[in-house]
Amino acid sequence: MTTATVDRKILPPPTERYTVLGWLYKNLFSTWYDALLTLGSATLLYLVFAPMISWAFTTAQWEVINANLRLLMIGQYPPSELWRIWACMYIAAIILGVSWGMWVRGMREAGIALIVAPFLFMLFPSLELNDRLNLGGIAFAALAGFFIGRARGKSLSRLTTLSWIVYFPLVIFLVRGLNEEKQFFGVVGSNFWGGLLLTFLLTVVGIVFSFPFGILLALGRQSSLTFVKMFCILFIEVIRGVPFITIIFMSQLVLPLFLPAGFTLDRVIRAMAGTVIFSAAYLAENVRGGLQAIPKGQFEAADALGLNSFQTMIYIILPQALRAVIPILVGQFIALFKDTSLVAIVGLYDLLGIARSLLAQPDFIGRQPEVYMFIAAIYWIFSYVMSYISQRLEVRMGVGER
């Protein structure tokens, strides 16, 4: 009998290496129908993209974007108070930079793309000098944050998490202002909010304010109190069963009737109320998913330690449940970011609403393709970047898995 040599070093299988032709053969022309598919889809690509590219560089008149860039970004927000928007962006850049330096390993390309983005934005011809300086400043703030985060490592972890939580209410505060008399830091009424700014504010308000309601609804649905439970189920299912646009109509047309005479809310606030109600129902279902994922042993252990049901929820169950649903909440934030475009139907001037009002001006008749493509690109970039980063972070940090 021959004995096998057991001490031979086991090598991993050789990695496949291709030449260019080899790669082409493997991926594009391995069989006859593969070759057919390749040729067919290449033709399709050509037929779709060739006219589009030639349109974009010859027929299209992009001046409409350039001339109205400020309107599309911030609507009628008073220019003298513009520093508040910049402040929000600087703070976001710093926190994002620190978080990136601290938590994100790898993803070098995405990071570079994010730093380069403000510089690309500077290329818009209609921007003024101080806009460009601020954009550059934002990029440097993000970069500085990145190096701080990387140098200080995890010691800033708690502070950074806290600043993310504080950031969103702070934005609302900064944009709205404090002082009723219009001196320093006066109130900028919500009728001045517009463009991309309004889109973001609607999303942020929708998520932040729906959080407490969503959690209460989720807990109510799990409750042993029959009446509370039925109310919560009814509320959640009705809101989820009807289109968002009907809720927006309701908040615009019916909500004012519910309030006492003489008590008026302006349109933006009413739209925000609708967004919060809508978002709360969806958030409740997501949180419920997290609650159901908590093993029963956690409740029993809390009982055994003598915690009452309120303490069990606050200290034991909710922290775990919320942690488990973070990825879904990010997804919901992105979905809401897209869904807020519906307020344009009731005449609010969010990104889409401003675009539609621009196109109604005689100067810009027939510029629909350019304007809609531009705002579609803005929506696309923001939601793609957010979902890309959150997916990568999920995998990397094991959020939601524990």
Residues of this chain that bind another protein (CB under 8 A) = 27-28, 30, 34, 37-38, 41-42, 44-45, 224-228, 231, 238, 241-246, 249-250, 253-254, 256-261, 338-339, 341-342, 344-345, 352, 356, 359, 366, 368-369, 372-373, 375-376, 379-380, 383-384, 387
CA 291, CA 299: separation in Å to the nearest integer?
Answer: 11
CA 203, CA 276: separation in Å to the nearest integer?
Answer: 9
Judged by CB, which is closer to another protein: 133, or 377? 377
Smallest gap from residue 161 Cβ to another protein (A): 27
Smallest gap from residue 382 Cβ to another protein (A): 8
CA 355, CA 194: separation in Å to the nearest integer?
Answer: 11
Smallest gap from residue 51 Cβ to another protein (A): 11
Judged by CB, which is closer to another protein: 222, or 387? 387
Judged by CB, which is closer to another protein: 84, or 367? 367
Are 288 and 218 contacting, i.e. CB atoms less than 8 angstroms apart?
A: yes
CA 294, CA 316: separation in Å to the nearest integer?
Answer: 10
Judged by CB, which is closer to another protein: 42, or 314? 42
Give the angle 85-179-211 at the CA atoms, nearest 5°.
60
CA 322, CA 319: separation in Å to the nearest integer?
Answer: 5
Judged by CB, which is closer to another protein: 166, or 238? 238
| Residue written as token pair 């976001």 | 92
Judged by CB, which is closer to another protein: 175, or 352? 352
Smallest gap from residue 256 Cβ to another protein (A): 8
Smallest gap from residue 227 Cβ to another protein (A): 5
Smallest gap from residue 27 Cβ to another protein (A): 4
Smallest gap from residue 267 Cβ to another protein (A): 15
CA 329, CA 337: separation in Å to the nearest integer?
Answer: 12
Helix axes of 195-222 and 157-176: crossing angle, nearest 10 degrees = 120
Burial 49-80 (b: 16+ CB within 10 A, else e): eeeeeeeeeeebeeebbeebbbbbbbbebeee
Judged by CB, which is closer to another protein: 134, or 199? 199
Q: What distances in angstroms separate CA 89 from CA 93, 137, 167, 327, 359, one per listed residue?
A: 6, 10, 11, 24, 29
DSSP string for 189-245: -GGG--HHHHHHHHHHHHHHHHHHHHHHHHHHHH-S-HHHHHHHHHHHHHHHHS-HH
Judged by CB, which is closer to another protein: 29, or 167? 29
Judged by CB, which is closer to another protein: 127, or 345? 345
Smallest gap from residue 32 Cβ to another protein (A): 12
Smallest gap from residue 320 Cβ to another protein (A): 25
Judged by CB, which is closer to another protein: 27, or 179? 27
Smallest gap from residue 243 Cβ to another protein (A): 4
The beta-carbon contacts of 67-71 under 8 Å, at least 24 apart in sequence, are 67/126, 68/354, 68/358, 69/124, 69/126, 69/127, 70/126, 71/194, 71/195, 71/354, 71/358
Are 232 and 284 contacting, i.e. CB atoms less than 8 angstroms apart?
A: yes
Query: What backbone phi and psi angles, to 5 degrees, belong to 153?
Result: 60, -145
